[in-house]
Structure 1
Amino acid sequence: MKIKLILFFLLCHTAIYAQPFIFPELPASGKSLASLTPSNWKVIDSVYGDLNNDNIKDMAFVVEFYRPVKESRAYGDNDTELITEVQKPRILAIYFKKSTNGAYRLATQNNNFMLRSEEGGAMGDPLRPMHIQANQLLLSFEGGGNWRWKLNYSFKYLDKDWQLVQANNLAYHSGSGEMNDKRYDFINKTRKVVTGTMNDSTLKDNIFDQPLTIKTLRTFNSFKKPWTWEIKKDEFL
């Protein structure tokens, strides 16, 4: 009888674990970060600053689920989900504040863009602290092994949507310092490439600019996660 009960509970646990994970809907408004954090989730990063150019500090934060679950994550392009991983889901939340003493109101919830703790390679968790500068939300990630990468994305609230306005993709060798840094300005449609070695004072001699041919700006809705936008053939951001 005891063995049957153990098997029953194991089967129930397996069935629950196999169910598609459902992300919670974050509160529409709240007075504090604690009041906006759903049960079984913890805040792993937060930042305050003006994001909608009204001189009032808004808030962005990232929460992580308390345990690993199965997630299908896009890999290599923006459309096809090619890999299923067991990892802790993450949510990026952005809240506007209408007045200094008022409540925070949900501006966007994104369940896909933030890299998970297992997506940084040998360097571990790729998430780096967020920043708010010039009404832009800066998201940063870093990972790799001997060859390492840094990805930075600047999103700005334009035309009632979160548009990617700047980004850079830096690759460098941890031993030799050899590096290649691609810097994108999506507003002015330019692409700058910097090559050389890390901390090289002569980098100004290794810079060239190119026009950037893109039709529309990417947003959180059209940019599923890092590494899934093929800017040009074999060049991913």
Structure 2
Amino acid sequence: MRWLIFFMLLSVANFSFAQKFNFPRLITQTTKPIQSIPKNWKVIDSVQGDLNKDNQKDLVLILEHNTAVNEDRAYGNYEIELITETQKPRILAIYFKDTNNRYRLAVQNNDFVLRSEEGGKMGDPLKGLRIDSGKLTLSFEGGNDWRWKLNYEFEYLQKQWNLVTANNVYYHKDSGEMVDKQYDFVDRTIKTVVGSIFKRNIANDTDEDILVFGSTRTLNDFKKPWTWEVTKDNYL
């Protein structure tokens, strides 16, 4: 009997260890979204602005869990290149505001926002949120000697949060050597600027081409930066 109890306890322990972290489901409608965030979570960034063209100030929040957990995070292809890291999970939440000062949850993405440990020597890669002309921009930056900047611009179109433009800059902090790829998913163009980050408008080579891709990414299906191979060897 003692051995049976031992193996039962061992099985329970192994099951508990293997359990994945469960993200909370945010409240779908509230008058005070910041005060309605789940226990053990906090707001680390926010921005207000009209995102659905109804002249109301909608709200975008980035939440972070208070403690670090083991998370499977993707590098490259999300389906096959997963690395388990211990870090604090983050959530991107967008709320539409109506004329009665109520906020309705428009999207919750648990994967897209980079975590604080994913910026290399530069520290937290999250560089802020911005709403301009009805579009939401998220900016990230990180790296060591070779550094990168990522900007994603989403727009609410036909009830979807479409990625409309993106910018991926890769450069050396000392030499200034740079490759800057600018994606336009509306006009379907990709502009590549090669040269120096210190001389952006002088003597840099610019090439523009047609951008051929499948379906546009949205905030509902975008797992994480660097996981979408837009074209061969071009990741966002």
What CA RMSD, in Å, does the superposition of the two structures yield over aligned residues? 1.9
* SS of aligned partner of 2:35: helix
Structure 2 residues not aligned, in runs of 5+: 1-11
Partner of 1:220: 219
Change in CA separation of 1:17 and 1:41 when aligned onto 2, cut-off 3 Å? farther
Quote the offset at 1:14 in angstroms: 8.7
* SS of aligned partner of 1:35: helix
Write the deviation string for residues 12-47 of structure 1: whole angstroms up to 9, x where unpaired: 999756421111010112222432311100100000
Contact 1:18/1:70, CA 8 A, preserved across alignment: no
Q: d(CA) in 2 for partners of 1:162 and 1:22? A: 24
Matches within 5 A, 1:48-197: 48-99=48-99, 101-197=100-196
Contact 2:107/2:220, CA 8 A, preserved across alignment: no
* SS of aligned partner of 2:153: strand
List 4+ stretches of structure 1 deviating above 3 A.
12-18, 201-205
* SS of aligned partner of 2:84: strand
Amino acid at match of 1:175: D
Change in CA separation of 1:20 and 1:202 when aligned onto 2, cut-off 3 Å? closer
Contact 1:114/1:225, CA 8 A, preserved across alignment: yes
Amino acid at match of 1:197: S
Change in CA separation of 1:90 and 1:208 when aligned onto 2, cut-off 3 Å? same
Q: d(CA) in 2 for partners of 1:14 and 1:63? A: 30
Quote the offset at 1:230 in angstroms: 1.0
Q: d(CA) in 2 for partners of 1:234 and 1:188? A: 21
Q: d(CA) in 2 for partners of 1:223 and 1:78? A: 10
Quote the offset at 1:222 in angstroms: 2.7
Write the deviation string for residues 77-127 of structure 1: whole angstroms up to 9, x where unpaired: 13235211111100000000111x421110010001011111111111111
Amino acid at match of 2:165: Q
Contact 1:61/1:93, CA 8 A, preserved across alignment: yes
Amino acid at match of 1:214: F
Question: 26-35 or 89-98: which moved more?
Answer: 26-35
Q: d(CA) in 1 for partners of 2:18 and 2:79? A: 23
* SS of aligned partner of 1:61: strand
* SS of aligned partner of 1:108: strand
Quote the offset at 1:55 in angstroms: 1.3
Q: d(CA) in 2 for partners of 1:63 and 1:17? A: 25
Amino acid at match of 1:236: Y
Question: 33-42 or 49-58: which moved more?
Answer: 33-42
Q: d(CA) in 2 for partners of 1:127 and 1:36? A: 23
Question: 221-230 or 84-93: which moved more?
Answer: 221-230
* SS of aligned partner of 1:122: helix
Amino acid at match of 1:126: P
Number of corresponding residues: 226
* SS of aligned partner of 2:104: strand
Q: d(CA) in 2 for partners of 1:218 and 1:234? A: 17
Question: 81-90 or 164-173: which moved more?
Answer: 81-90
Structure 1 residues not aligned, in runs of 5+: 1-11
